[in-house]
Amino acid sequence: MLKEIANELTLTVRTAPDKLDVEVTGGYASDLLSRVMAKAKKGNLWVTIQAHPNIVAVASLLELAGIIVAEDVELDPVTIEKANEEGIPILTTEYCTFAIVSKLAQLGVAGVD
Amino acid sequence: MKRAKEVTRVQELVYELKVEQAMTGDVVAVTPQTLMVEFREILRVNRISGTPVLENGELVGIVSIEDLIKALASSELEATVGEKMTTEVKTLYADEPLIQAVGKFARYGFGRFPAVDRQGKLVGILTQGDIVKGLLKRLEIDYHEEEIHRYRASHIFEDIVADEAALLFRYNVIGQDFTRAGEASSKLKRTLSRLGINPRIIRQVAIISYEAEMNIVIFTDGGELVAEVRPERIKIEAIDGGPGIPDIEKAMHPGFSTAPEWVREMGFGAGMGLLNIQACSDEMKLESTVGVETHLEAIVYVEGGKGDAERDSQ
């Protein structure tokens, strides 16, 4: 469950707090959106340092469980607005992508390959 | 500041719904002459925890189970409601949004508020439970409406009598507008899911339309995305007014991109877009005339296409 992951890793829930009761089917990490489009699967948790509104479109089209924005990159206000509209949870963390992915792996979130 | 924008559907409804849509309109009321012992019976029979007090139709006070408990403790059950009630009544207007009520519950800590019309006449009573019930009911209506949309749409081809039928959806895509980029694809995806199309097919179409839309946004001054839906296949076309692609073969090469640096920093221009489109299409055609236009056509078969074979695992 995304909620448990958020609690365990003390991620800050920035959008769609009512959408955290979802099963996470795996994880994918990349900052190149077309790579994400090609590889990430439904229900995956996506780790990135992109914070512009288009990440919401990507997550919504792929029906991802949520987005973790690493290194506390500041979210664009439009990103927040859109994510709430689309019901996509965005969680932020101070850790870098590598660090948060290794923590996710310890919790049993597996890569999609 | 940013927090203000984080609005959920329930928060939205609290602004949308009026007090009168959540309140109980059929109000059980007592008069100042009612005895506390009678008031106890009224609470018990109606299974409520308080009532407004009316004298000649005028709201003069409010009396609750708390007043009853106090009267019980001091053995004053023969006292009148008029002696035990709260006379400084805080009310709500029936036509104000529920958010006002939420604010007053938080501020005063009362269990209920009488609702009055603009002439001050009592028209209902609102408890916190009524607010929750009102919101749930409204959410349920929203949900049903969405279900009905879905049902109607998914039967549309069965209801159409024609030798050939197709639905056409056209979306404008604004060039260089990265804030709205992806909206056309999102709308198309929502439309297709309302039509009851297989989720695997929708996913393929979503990837195709997203990549095509992003190409229009990144490289052109604008264009359009058109989806033609037939029972057996979906055709997606992306048409723009140039600048055009000088070497299509090169453009199809993995990793090749002409996107400017600032666009790449946002994660676009990975040189994967056209490949993603090709991977998700059963047929793909790309034509371009430099300085004139680019026309992309991608077809996804609903049955017997990629969606049925290799994409089964998704």
Distance CA B258, CA B251 (A): 9
Q: Which residues of B touch A34 (CB under 8 A)?
A: 211, 214, 268, 270-273, 276
Task: Note the pLDDT of residue B10.
Answer: 67
DSSP B20: H
pTM: 0.62
Across the interface, of A18, A37, A48, the residue whose CB is closest to B211 is A37
Inter-chain contact B314–A84, Cβ cutoff 8 Å? no
pLDDT one-digit tens code per residue, A12-70: 999 999 999 999 999 999 999 999 999 999 999 999 999 999 999 999 999 999 999 99
Task: Note the pLDDT of residue B313.
Answer: 43
> Which residue(s) pair with B216 in the sheet?
none
| Mutate which: A56, A61, A69, vs B, most B CBs within 10 A | A61
Helix%, strand%, coil% for chain B, nearest 5: 45, 25, 35
Residue B268 Cα, gap to closest chain A Cα (Å): 6
Dihedral class, residue A43 (left if φ above 0, else alpha if ψ from -120 to 50, else beta): left
**Residue A111 belongs to a domain:** no
Q: What is the mean pLDDT of chain B?
A: 87
**Residue A112 belongs to a domain:** no
Q: Report the CATH number at residue A64.
A: 3.40.1390.20
**Residue A23 belongs to a domain:** yes
- Using an 8 Å Cβ cutoff, are B239 and B212 in contact? no
Residue A32 Cα, gap to closest chain B Cα (Å): 4
**Residue A113 belongs to a domain:** no
- Using an 8 Å Cβ cutoff, are B193 and B202 in contact? yes
| Letter string b/e over residues B192-208, b meaning 16 or more CB atoms within 10 A of that residue's CB | bbbbebeebbbbbbbbb
Q: Per-residue pLDDT for B31 more than 90?
A: yes
Q: Per-residue pLDDT for B156 more than 80?
A: no
**Residue A16 belongs to a domain:** yes
**Residue A77 belongs to a domain:** yes
> Which residue(s) pair with B30 in the sheet?
B53
Q: Which residues of A touch B181 (CB under 8 A)?
A: 53-54, 57
Task: Note the pLDDT of residue B305.
Answer: 65
**Residue A48 belongs to a domain:** yes
**Residue A20 belongs to a domain:** yes
Residue B214's pLDDT band (cuts 50, 70, 90): very high
Across the interface, of B2, B6, B178, the residue whose CB is closest to A54 is B178
**Structural domains in chain B, sorted by start:** 2-133 (3.10.580.10), 155-313 (3.30.565.10)
pLDDT one-digit tens code per residue, B111-137: 889 999 888 889 999 998 898 888 888
| Letter string b/e over residues B243-264, b meaning 16 or more CB atoms within 10 A of that residue's CB | bbbeeeeebbeeeebebeeebb
Task: Note the pLDDT of residue B307.
Answer: 59
Domain that holds residue A96: 2-106
Which H or E run includes B174? strand B167-174
Residue B6 Cα, gap to closest chain A Cα (Å): 6
Residue B15's pLDDT band (cuts 50, 70, 90): confident
Dihedral class, residue B138 (left if φ above 0, else alpha if ψ from -120 to 50, else beta): alpha
Inter-chain contact B186–A16, Cβ cutoff 8 Å? no
Amino acid in position B208: I
Q: Which residues of B touch A54 (CB under 8 A)?
A: 178, 181-182, 214, 266-268
Q: Tokens standing for B141?
A: 């209506």
Q: Which residues of B touch A29 (CB under 8 A)?
A: none
pLDDT one-digit tens code per residue, B231-262: 889 999 999 998 999 999 999 998 899 998 88
Number of domains in chain A: 1
